[in-house]
Structure 1
């Protein structure tokens, strides 16, 4: 009997102390977690969001290919250059294919009552009002080739100081990594270095794991999709969350694919919220 009474009293005490859980509200928004509502940082952020809109949303992959052997490329224009096992033509093409799969995401949006895509929520700095897919800010190494397989495969014989050699994607890439603002490289390929959305891709946005300016010896590719951010009351906020959910499905499926050559880490902006 005494044991029963102890259990009953314990249950009452536990229930009483647990009653507060009914009104528990979890905070998952990092803005709420990291800054007080009356802090100067919050006030400045609120001012920025009110007058310029919230800062864009970042969805990013960092891809590596450990164990692959690099090579030395004897460039007609740039001399001997180290290329890591990662910076190889087949992996650049595989990166482009993964990028295009993500860019081509489509899904039904209840909020828009139609099929939605990247263009509905992407950050498009040069055409924000009615962007096409190529207007969306996607930063990656294939952007030095305007995301064109033909440009990656392009090659031409070139003569410099009486020496004739073939120049290819490697010569273009060396030039663009060092001159990302150029609209035309100095090879006879004559290709642009600018991204297809009209802006430059600086090397620190495309590759990582290099020393100094030895970009072609990088150990990581960086692939970043920038989306517009919206007030929580805007229906497009839900559309952005849904796009990121579809993005995570593709990335996680690719990660499980035994034929994939990349090892990678990834993040989505929605990971901070849900």
Structure 2
């Protein structure tokens, strides 16, 4: 499924494709909690006929299975990404490169034929304590997050990301915004901007979501619980009980390695820096990434001034 950067079954099953089973697939499709089903459906997975009180006998489905490499009627076969039996085409979908986290890196541009990725490396200024997050009761265990994951700070970063996406600049005597030159899916129309906020579909409301216990005293799930789910399975389309997806607003799966720096192993909660990437179309003869890069360098001093007020982030 090129538009999402993952397998189609990841979205249909609610589980990673390699962990999906017939029962899990049917349960997810028939669960109104997936945000798509209009009503609940109870499936009975069996090989035996089932007689109803009315005298009608239901027989298990016995339909012919069509390989993913074969077309169905007027519908084309599956893509090579979802079906290993389909040969790879000569053209490829532009990948989103992971940011090369090193001590010497301070943001930058990665170019490839037809597109470019502008990386912004964000770190938090000042001394801030780590966040102790307790797992939902009855567990007494907790986990520590670095200060870049504080909710108020994430709201600031989303505000910054939104401002960058609305910047206007002149290119070939024409005023354009990032939306005009970004790489986006033809369905969602959202720019491809991998960042930690994509785990919340760039929504402040989703970041603030939480579920309390029946007494209203204990927090059963909040944004940090959701992040832990997305760290492990970024293709998750339904995180209960928050009813949130980890899939981005542009339909792509955002790998943690694309959006964090400073972590150890797969402990992304230990990340000390956030990475925000803007994927930009770069047609022949026009260096769009250069335009955005120039605009970015001019705005940095203004951002630095605002940091003295309510904002405490720093762009590298």
Q: Taking structure 2 as the reference length, what is the TM-score of the superposition?
A: 0.57
1:85 aligns with 2:147: yes
Q: Which residue of 2 aligns with 1:76?
A: 136
Runs of 4 or more above 6 Å deviation: none
How far apart are residue 167 of structure 1 and its match? Answer: 1.6
How far apart are residue 55 of structure 1 and its match? Answer: 4.5
Q: Taking structure 1 as the reference length, what is the TM-score of the superposition?
A: 0.66
Q: Deviations over 1:173-218 (max 9, x none)?
A: 1111211111111x31110101111101111112110111211121
Unmatched runs of 5 consecutive residues or more in structure 2: 1-89, 93-111
Q: Deviations over 1:211-270 (max 9, x none)?
A: 1121112111111111112212xxxx15553333223323342134323312331xxxxx
Q: Contact between 1:207 and 1:222, CA under 8 Å: does it hold in 2?
A: yes
User: Would you say how many aligned residue pairs link Structure 1 and Structure 2?
Assistant: 201
Change in 2 beyond 3 A, CA 1:48/1:164: closer
Q: Which deviates the most, 150-159 or 97-106?
A: 150-159
Q: Which residue of 1 aligns with 2:198?
A: 143
Q: Which residue of 2 aligns with 1:8?
A: none
Change in 2 beyond 3 A, CA 1:173/1:139: same
| RMSD, aligned CA | 2.7
Q: Contact between 1:158 and 1:167, CA under 8 Å: does it hold in 2?
A: no
Query: 1:104 pairs with 157, 162, 166, which one?
Result: 166
Give the alignment of 1:84-233 within 5 angstroms.
Answer: 84-109=146-171, 111=172, 114-124=174-184, 126-127=185-186, 132=189, 134=190, 136-158=191-213, 165-185=219-239, 187-232=240-285
Q: For 1:48 and 1:198, locate their aligned partners in 2 and report how far apart those are by CA, in whole Å.
A: 21
Q: Which residue of 2 aligns with 1:62?
A: 121
Q: Which residue of 2 aligns with 1:261?
A: 312
Q: Which residue of 1 aligns with 2:86?
A: none
* Structure with greater helix share of residues: 1
Q: Which residue of 1 aligns with 2:46?
A: none
Q: For 2:221 and 2:188, locate their aligned partners in 1 and report how far apart those are by CA, in whole Å.
A: 35
Q: Contact between 2:210 and 2:219, CA under 8 Å: does it hold in 1?
A: no
Q: Contact between 1:105 and 1:247, CA under 8 Å: does it hold in 2?
A: no
Q: Contact between 1:203 and 1:215, CA under 8 Å: does it hold in 2?
A: yes
Between structure 1 and structure 2, the one with the greater Rg is 1
Q: Which residue of 1 aligns with 2:33?
A: none
Change in 2 beyond 3 A, CA 1:151/1:214: same
Q: Which residue of 1 aligns with 2:18?
A: none
Secondary structure of the residue aligned to 1:192 is: coil
Change in 2 beyond 3 A, CA 1:214/1:227: same
Q: For 1:249 and 1:131, locate their aligned partners in 2 and report how far apart those are by CA, in whole Å.
A: 31
Change in 2 beyond 3 A, CA 1:239/1:211: closer
Change in 2 beyond 3 A, CA 1:206/1:196: same
How far apart are residue 48 of structure 1 and its match? Answer: 8.4
Q: For 1:122 and 1:198, locate their aligned partners in 2 and report how far apart those are by CA, in whole Å.
A: 15
